[in-house]
Chain A
Amino acid sequence: MPRLDPAALRHPLHLLRTRAPWTALVYLVLEALAGIVSIGSWFTILLIPAWLLTWPRLEQRLLPLAGRASPRVIRRRGEMRWQDIVLVLLTAVMAVAAFFVGIVVVVLLGTLFATPVAVLSGRDVTLGNADQVLPAVPAALVAPVLGLAVLALVLWGATALAYGWSGLSLALLRDEESRLAAQVEALGDMSVQREDVVALERRALERDLHDGAQMHLSAAGLRLALLQLDAEQLPAGGPQDRVLAGLDEVREQLDLGGQSVRDAARGLVPTVLRDGGLEAALEELARALPLKTELECTVPRLPEAVEHGVHLIAREALTNIVRHSGAEHVLIHGTLTSGSADDTAPTLLLEITDDGHGGAAPTGTGLISMRARARNLGGTLDLDSPDGGPTMLRLQVPANTGGGEGR
Chain B
Amino acid sequence: MRILLAEDAALLRDGLVALLERAGHEVVAAVSTATELEVEASTLIPAGAVDLVLTDVRMPPGHGDDGLRAALQIRRNHPSMPIIVLSQYIEQRYARALLGLTDSSGPTSERAGLGYLLKDRVSRVHDFLDALEVVRGGGIVVDPLVVTALMRRETSALSQLSARELEVLELVSQGKTNDQISVRLHLSRGAVVKHVSAAFDKLGISEQDGNRRVLAVIAFLREQPSAD
Contacts and interface: CB of A to CB of B under 8 A. Distances in A.
Interface string A269-308: 0111011100110001001100000000000000000000
A178 interface: no
A272 B62 contact: no
Given A225-B125, A270-B228, A215 B120 contact: no
Contacts, number: 94
Contacts of B128: 225
Nearest to A225: B125
Interface stretch (A7-15, A30-38, A138-146, A216-224): A216-224
Contact of B19 (A214, A225, A262, A270): A225
Contacts of A271: 64-65, 89, 91, 93, 228
Chain A, interface SS category: helix
B99 to A, nearest CB: 16
A325 B192 CA distance: 48
Nearest to B86: A218
A224 B228 contact: no
Contact of A251 (B18, B93, B124, B225): B124
Nearest to B226: A284
The bracket for how many chain B residues form the interface is 20 to 34
A219 B12 contact: yes
B22 interface: yes
Contact of A221 (B68, B89, B90, B120): B120
B58 interface: yes
B27 to A, nearest CB: 14
Interface string A369-407: 000000000000000000000000000000000000011
Given A217-B120, A221-B120, A229-B125, A262 B225 contact: no
The bracket for how many chain A residues form the interface is 35 or more
B12 A225 contact: no
A191 B174 CA distance: 46
A255 interface: yes
A172 to B, nearest CB: 52
Interface of A: 210-211, 214-226, 228-229, 251, 254-255, 258, 262, 265-267, 270-272, 274-276, 279-280, 284, 287-288, 406-407
